[in-house]
Amino acid sequence: MSNMQQSSWRNEQSGNADAWDCGIAPRRAHSTPDPDAIPPREPPPSPLPDDVPPPANAPVEEPRMPEPPIRAAAA
């Protein structure tokens, strides 16, 4: 008995029906949505939190002067 047949037999005997293909995923068919079907409803938009201002009314941070680099202390 070859190794492939032996491992296949061992996997089927262990109760794992999907393991017989030795790691190869089974092919699954996909279906095209029915064009005449009513589309599913969109979920309602999530509410905006009260403490976050809308982008148009957000406070503007003024530009600052660049800060000098931090120098390491001399040892």
- Report pLDDT digits (tens) over 1-35: 445 545 444 444 455 555 555 666 666 776 787 88
Residue 74, token pair as written in the block: 């001399």
Distances (CA, A) of 13 to 9, 18, 21, 22: 6, 11, 13, 14
Of these ranges, 34-38, 45-49, 52-56, the one predicted with the greatest mean pLDDT is: 34-38
pLDDT of residue 11: 46
